[in-house]
Structure 1
């Protein structure tokens, strides 16, 4: 079987392949740093507050632009923007925050690299994309690597249920990538406009969740200043600006190639984890290595 468009064909058609790879590298640094930012924000705030702060900060970043461009909003596609916003941002924000409470940032970054596998599976199941035999092998290897990460513990193998939150987030990412590629490319909108409209649909929900709890009480503590900064930085850089760059990358390439940013994200995440004193074991490197081999086979095909 053959895929619709191989990544090599996609790259060869680009007018500026250097820009595509530069965006991949920049996104890897931004998103690879997001896991440690989640961890630092959780020092004071709970998982729902960190997730809400992340989405809410991104929404407020885009709000002035949205208010001055109301006439450009394609309201007939509001349901698509809401769906993409939930799958690609809102749900994963909460899931990664839940995982960050009990899972090292390096492990979260490594598990996040299963995104291309779920992108391919979702594309094959629901979007009519064909999957080659080599890609099938890559998917199997990726799941073996993910299983090793889920079972890796300080004292041998043990099941870490929090790792499943990250896996669930990558499933949502896979859905989001395919939906974005099919329904939000070809619009007469810039990536910045698309991203700002997406966050307009989910931002108010996140802010309601944020202020419905004891967020304001926690803000009265001097210990909350740094975690608040990390949460806002997570939203502005990790969600707002990064999603603008990512939507641009999807428009330039393919959904699977765009998701290949996860090749580099684990490296950045593990570096931050080591700096923060996390223990990275041989099982972690083995699991991540197997996942990346699987992702390589998926993309090479």
Structure 2
């Protein structure tokens, strides 16, 4: 029906000799993708600044609490959709999809430049496909299988790199495991949280993750005063990079679908490396560029 209507309209315009009206371009989607890539790229910069003062556990607790508070009104409005039995899945998803990967990325930020975590984060798309294939019977296809191999070769290249003469293999391993957990979480969310309002679901899982992290955060709360820069970075990490960014991301998914929204994956490492270089003077080595190219190229092939 849409094709028939479109053809008749084009024909009428041609026959009448009228100049067709210009089609308005939707700039909101690319601008929101660009902004989201900048915000999530900056999250690795904020972790790098704040984690020396806070430590990974306390920093992640602040991030989770603030992110959950930003989204809590959406959960309150949809509370009837969250009976007690549903929390049996929300609690472990919060652990797998938020608490553990946040801690791993923060731990990695203590030991390697911000760009390292941002590059590892791009593996999430590939791990989601791999977990779906191994445990949920999804087809992977030869093209995506090849993309996985190329992506993992990028991780190997990154893990063997040195920055300022220091090995970063343990930080790469932590970031890769965090991306794997994101991949597991993506499959769990798809199967056990479908039909729920996304912002409310995010508030629920972030709140559960904050409860998971609370004992470790209290036990490792910083004994020394935390600098203003670290507090500002932690607050930005929670409010902007978690709470508000989730709202934008879910709005994008609703407007353009999950595949197109996931293209923000390509922007995060670029902005993560750029901000770390600009504000912290962290180097971007040839090996990091090669590894990032392999990983992002594999993600692009897998999402065609």
Q: 1:197 aligns with which of 198, 204, 214?
A: 204
The answer for the alignment partner of 1:108 in structure 2 is: 117
Question: 2:285 maps to which residue?
Answer: 281
Query: Match for residue 26 of structure 1?
Result: 35
Please state whether the residue corresponding to 1:280 is helix, strand or coil.
Answer: coil
Structure 2 unaligned runs (5+)? Answer: 1-24
Please identify, of 227-236 and 245-254, the stretch whose mean Cα deviation from structure 2 is larger. Answer: 245-254
Matched, 1:230 2:237: no
Contact (CA 8 Å) 1:89, 1:239: kept in 2 or not?
Answer: no
> What is the deviation of 1:123?
1.3
For 2:156, the equivalent position in structure 1 comes to 147
Aligned to 2:82: 73
Matched, 1:207 2:214: yes
Q: Which residue of 1 aligns with 2:7?
A: none
**Which residue does 2:133 correspond to in 1?**
124
Change (3 A) 1:293 1:278: same
Shift in alpha-carbon separation, 1:93–1:155, aligned structure 2, 3 A = closer
1:93 equivalent in structure 2: 102
Question: TM-score, normalised to structure 2's length?
Answer: 0.82
For 1:253 and 1:210, the matched residues in 2 are separated by 38
Does the 8 Å CA contact 2:74/2:199 hold for their aligned counterparts?
Answer: no
Is residue 115–residue 272 contact of structure 2 (8 Å, CA) maintained in 1?
yes
**Which residue of the other structure, out of 56, 65, 81, is the alignment partner of 2:65?**
56
- TM-score, with normalisation over the residues of structure 1? 0.83
Task: Give the Cα–Cα distance (whole angstroms) in 2 for the partners of residues 84 and 73 of structure 1.
Answer: 14
Q: Is the 8 A contact 2:68 2:204 kept in 1?
A: no
Whole-angstrom distance in 2 between the partners of 1:103 and 1:243: 26
Specify which of 139, 159, 183 is matched with residue 174 of structure 1: 183
Distance in 1, Cα, partners of 2:86 & 2:26: 30
> What's 1:13 paired with?
none
- Provide closer, same or farther for how the CA distance between residues 20 and 79 of structure 1 changes in structure 2, counting only shifts above 3 A: farther
Question: CA, structure 1 residues 80+252, in 2 after alignment: closer, same or farther (shift >3 Å)?
Answer: farther
Structure 1 Cα separation of the partners of residues 281 and 149 of structure 2: 32
Deviation at 1:259, TM superposition (A): 3.9
Pick from 84, 90, 101: which aligns with 2:93? 84
Question: Following the alignment from structure 1 to structure 2, what is the Cα–Cα distance between the partners of residues 203 and 132?
Answer: 38
Q: 1:267 aligns with which of 265, 270, 290?
A: 270
**For 1:42, what is the secondary structure of its paired residue?**
helix
Task: Indicate how the Cα distance of structure 1 residues 155 and 245 shifts in structure 2: closer, same or farther if over 3 A, else same.
Answer: closer
Aligned residue number for residue 15 of structure 2: none
Distance in 2 between residues matched to 1:252 and 1:91, nearest whole Å: 30
Change over 3 Å in CA distance of 1:87–1:243 after alignment to 2: farther
Point out where structure 1 has 5 or more consecutive residues left out of the alignment. Answer: 1-15
Stretch of structure 1 that moved more, 195-204 or 153-162: 153-162
The answer to whether 1:292 aligns with 2:284 is no
CA distance, structure 2, for counterparts of residue 110 and residue 157 of structure 1: 18
